[in-house]
Amino acid sequence: MEAFYQLESQVEQNIFLRGYIKVKEVKRRRLKDNSKIPRSRSFTYYFRRVGKDDISVCKKYFKVTYQVRDGRLYDCCCKEQVSLLIDHCGLHIPGSKIDLHRLTNLICILSN
């Protein structure tokens, strides 16, 4: 959890959170009435133990541990922010994008 708060930007923190959330397609879509739009994704939240398997936790515990709100988790999972695309001019990488060196450092942190 300390690694999460040491990250400098919100984009890096969102990438960190996304590394601990698995997104799956919903297996069954059954609604009694047509008043709601059926879910298309199912989220599973995990904590990593060093040298052991991941621990599955509920959404509420995950949110309380990292002190994030529902909207931020939704943004992490549904809006893919991880992008290293160069803008259409091809002259520079936009300032809002994470550079490759920082991304590889973040991936190293997540893999440990």
Place 85 in a pLDDT band, splitting at 50, 70 and 90. Answer: very low
Question: Chain-wide mean pLDDT for the chain?
Answer: 77
pLDDT tens-digit map of 42-64: 888 998 877 778 889 999 999 99
Quote the pTM value. 0.60
Place 86 in a pLDDT band, splitting at 50, 70 and 90. Answer: very low
> What gap in Å lies between CA 59 and CA 44, rounded to an integer?
8
CA 35 to chain centre: 29
Kindly state the tokens that stand for 50. Answer: 């060093």
Angle value at C-alpha 30, between 24 and 31, nearest 5 degrees: 120
